[in-house]
Amino acid sequence: MTRIEIVTPTRDQLGECPLWDDQAQALYWIDSHAQLVRRLVPASGAYREWHLPTAIGSIALCDSGRLLVALAHGFSYLDLESGEVTPLAGVTHVAERIRLNDGRTDRAGRFVCGSLVMGRNEPLAALYQVDARGRVQQLDQGFAISNAICFSPDGQWLYYTDSRTRKILRYAYDSASGRTGQPTVWVDTAPLNSAADGATVDSEGGLWTALVETGQMARFLPDGSLARLIAMPVRHVTCPCFGGPDLDVLYVTSISNSGNALKDEHPDAGALFAVHGTGVRGLREVRFADQP
């Protein structure tokens, strides 16, 4: 039986991108609109936050101990000791009011990140890949809201959604070269009455995604079949990760006010939740390869 608890008293406007640091036994996540990176050590309750210069799309752990941060118009390093932000690579968007959004490190240590068109439903966003040398490759384009980026345990599949379409795509992915194949529709979430938002995979290859419009977490098996739905306490959940000492706690972020279409007056909206008892474990987060 699953048990859901609220992890901290903080409430995010647009909570996203939880990441478990297995070395420090700490949880990172972001409040995109508040421009905050947050960190909690659950065992001690120690909490810290960093304010960044723009809205934040996503973050990644780094080999060096820093964080890689997808800011509105490029990728930067965040030094967790000093708070210093150092640019790595910029992205030139094709129009105004586009920013970087969801992202995840591939199994070889590159970061794959998509962009988001703000306040309008136009397919002007793209999917990018960046490495530690600051080389940015565009993998695909023609999207509006990039989400659900994650990789199969063996690294051979890249999962991605344009939330506008309610379809999760799957790309064949070569971890050695970083090249992708042509996308195919892997799961259509329209019958579940929601787009997918953030996603992660478990050690069995199941993909967990936040159904942002219905307040549920969904688990899909590698063949695309729906294995499980978990009702969450608030309507707009956004992104999961596995954490805890045994990687068996599913952490889930949520929205109180996205600044766009999604707003929830529930007192727990924007909370960070921990789901216990899913019966599966996650994988250690791959670190961005910023050191030789």
Q: If residue 185 lies in a helix (H) or strand (E), which one and from where to where?
A: strand 184-188
pTM comes to 0.98
pLDDT number for residue 258: 85
Which strand ranges, in their side-by-side order, compose the sheet holding 58-61?
58-61, 67-71, 74-78, 85-90
Mean pLDDT, residues 26-30 taken together: 98
Q: Is 153 buried (19+), middle (13-18) or exposed (0-12) by CB count in 10 A?
A: middle
What's the pLDDT tens digit per position in 111-141?
A: 999 999 998 999 999 999 999 999 999 999 9
Q: Phi, psi (5° rounding) for residue 9?
A: -75, -10
The two tokens of residue 281 are 């474990």
Q: Which amino acid is at 62?
A: C
State the pLDDT confidence band at 166, using cuts at 50, 70 and 90. Answer: very high
Can you tell me the mean pLDDT for 235-260?
Answer: 96
Region 164-193 average pLDDT: 98
Using alpha carbons only, how large is the chain's radius of gyration in Å?
Answer: 17
pLDDT at 144 over 90: yes
What's the whole-number average pLDDT of the chain?
A: 97
Taking only the tens place, the pLDDT of each residue in 204-247 is 999 999 999 999 999 999 999 999 999 999 999 999 999 999 99
Q: What is the pLDDT of residue 133?
A: 98
pLDDT at 280 over 80: yes
Mean pLDDT in residue range 50-72: 98
**Residue 260 has what pLDDT?**
74
Concatenated DSSP letters of 167-208: EEEEEEB-TTT--B---EEEEE-GGGTS-EEEEEEBTTSPEE
Q: Report whether 76 contacts 120 (CB < 8 A).
A: no
Reported confidence tier of residue 292, pLDDT bands at 50, 70, 90: confident
Ordered domains of the chain (ranges, CATH)? 3-276 (2.120.10.30)
Q: In the beta sheet, which residues pair with residue 137?
A: 129
Predicted confidence band at 261 (pLDDT cuts at 50, 70, 90)?
confident
